[in-house]
Structure 1
Amino acid sequence: MRPIDPPYNLLTTHDREIVIARTTAACDAQYDVLTFGDAVPEQDRLLVNAIDELLDAATLSDSTRSALGDRYSDAQVIELVLLTGWYRSIATLINAARLPLDPAAPRGAAGSTY
């Protein structure tokens, strides 16, 4: 099997961090808490809404899928779906195994937007 050529991550680091933070926070698993402001910035609302739809319904609405298609390539949308599912699985493991937080790990603001 041929190795995957770079770039390995199709989403920007910023977008990946939002997916991870929103997913783990929604699953009540403080795996990777990031510090963000009190309100979701306009440029991040589509991404956050897409993550919420994936977590709530395990799919994307036609309108969200269409809006994502205006901003992201098909490969990036697939990465968004897979990344959300992966971190939901990680959050489930953290919660079910009752893994303790690493006391040395940095913490974001309580009640983070994402």
Structure 2
Amino acid sequence: MSPPRPSEPRIAPLAAEDMDDRQRQLMEQVGLGGPTVNIFATLVRHPGLFRHWLPFGGKLLAGRLPARDRELLVLRTGWRCRSEYEWAQHVVVGRQAGLSDEEIARVAEGPDADGWDEGDRLLLVAADELHDDACITDATWAALAARYDEHQLVEVPMVVGHYHLVSFTLNSLGVPLEDGAERFPDGGA
């Protein structure tokens, strides 16, 4: 079991009234149309980095991988990194992409859980291999290559790598969950 995550923010989300003009302008680009999400209100404290990170993350969210497949990769990465904030955000996105609540809960059990079809299991294996060894094995790559085109194949490790970066940052900064956010199933990893 990993050590506990910070119980309080190490760098707190920036309140809207405390943002300067540049930060407000960057937050407008996010276009949430509702309450500020803590990840953005925290990361906007570094406006230069935030400005360059947003388009990259947005490109992966609108990439060539089917949204459901991408969300399996993201959820498994959030689970393996023990990033409850990442998990909570992508439970919502995963549902929008067509994942059932039962499938989302099963992500925590991993690729060997009963009920996965071969394609879904393969994505979870790829995420685990990247997490454990920073490389997809030849066998897994060959199976992915039979399913995806070249652009999608590039996106698989990019998605997992990006959400490692995000999970590491969320965990280390102690970004707090929003009220009512989905918690890890059964108490977490």
TM-score when normalising by structure 1: 0.81
Alpha-carbon distance in 2 for matches of 1:25, 1:37: 10
- The CA RMSD measured in Å over matched residues stands at 2.0
Q: Deviations over 1:48-68 (max 9, x none)?
A: 101100111111111111111
- Count of residues in correspondence between the two structures: 104
Q: Deviations over 1:49-108 (max 9, x none)?
A: 011001111111111111110001121011011010000000000111111111143x16
Aligned identity (percent) is: 31
Per chain length, whose mean CA-contact separation is higher, i.e. which structure has more relative contact order (CA < 8 Å, sep 6+)?
1
CA contact (8 A) 2:87 2:184 kept: no
TM-score when normalising by structure 2: 0.51
Q: Report which of the two has the higher share of helix.
A: 2
Partner of 1:32: 87
Matched, 1:13 2:89: no
Unaligned 5+ runs, structure 1: 1-7
Map residues 1-114 of structure 1 onto 2, 5 A cutoff. Answer: 8-30=62-84, 31-33=86-88, 34=91, 35=101, 36-38=104-106, 39=113, 41-42=116-117, 43-105=119-181, 107=182, 110-111=185-186
Moved over 3 A (4+): 37-40
Q: CA deviation at 1:37?
A: 4.7
Q: Which structure has the bigger radius of gyration?
A: 2
Q: Deviations over 1:6-43 (max 9, x none)?
A: xx410111011111111011100011332325445123
Unaligned 5+ runs, structure 2: 1-61, 92-100, 107-112
Letter matched to residue 41 of structure 1: W
